[in-house]
Amino acid sequence: MLDGLNYSSLKGSLMARGTRELSRLLRAMGGNDLTIYGLSHLGDYEATLFSMYSHNRKFGQALVQGERFEKLAEGVSTVRALRELSKQFDVELPITNALYEILFENKNAKDTLEDLFLRPVTFEFQ
């Protein structure tokens, strides 16, 4: 979505904040919150954000540009699953919530993402 809105420079911030967000959820679920750092930066998370071949990236870009993308973007199901886990374990996931609102509640992507990135980061790093 960031690419489609010409906000590509925010990807680094998304990775830092998103990794912290997922680590809080993992801790609440009883896991070692430090393991998420290696998993996130070495695998699909980084490739999803930066690869020109990522279906998730192409889907998000097409979505905000009002175009159709017919291939599987597994990130859509991941957002739904993370949203359920956040409710079950009572962990606030701002990035997940923003994406959920855009994907499933038809919120305006530009406004929702701008609100997300203007949010103070102190919460993510507590």
Per the model's pLDDT, the better-predicted residue between 87 and 23 turns out to be: 87
- Distances in Å between the Cα of 101 and the Cα atoms of 21, 25, 37, 39, 122 are 17, 19, 26, 26, 22
Is residue 66 in a domain? yes
Predicted confidence at residue 123, as pLDDT, reads 57
CATH number of the domain that 36 lies in? 1.10.1040.10
* Number of residues assigned to the chain: 126
* Integer Cα distance of 53 and 60 in angstroms: 12
Is residue 74 in a domain? yes
Is residue 16 in a domain? yes
Is residue 50 in a domain? yes
* Integer Cα distance of 90 and 84 in angstroms: 10
Question: What average pLDDT score do residues 20-31 get?
Answer: 91
Least confident of 43-47, 61-65, 90-94: 43-47
Is residue 3 in a domain? no
Contacts 24+ apart (CB under 8 A), 100-104: 102/1, 102/63, 103/63, 103/76, 103/79, 104/80
Query: Is residue 43 pLDDT above 70, yes or no?
Result: no
- Contact between 91 and 25 under an 8 Å Cβ cutoff? The reply is yes
Is residue 87 in a domain? yes
**Domain span including residue 46:** 8-118
Count of domains forming the chain = 1
Query: Is residue 37 pLDDT above 80, yes or no?
Result: no
Is residue 60 in a domain? yes
What DSSP string describes 59-121? HHHHHHTT----S--THHHHHHHHHHHHHHTT---HHHHHHHHHHHS---HHHHHHHHHHS-T
- Percent of the chain scored above 70 by pLDDT? 82
Query: Is residue 20 pLDDT above 90, yes or no?
Result: no
Question: What global pTM score does this model have?
Answer: 0.80
Query: Is residue 124 pLDDT above 60, yes or no?
Result: no
Predicted confidence at residue 42, as pLDDT, reads 57
Question: What average pLDDT score do residues 37-57 get?
Answer: 68
Is residue 123 in a domain? no
Predicted confidence at residue 26, as pLDDT, reads 92
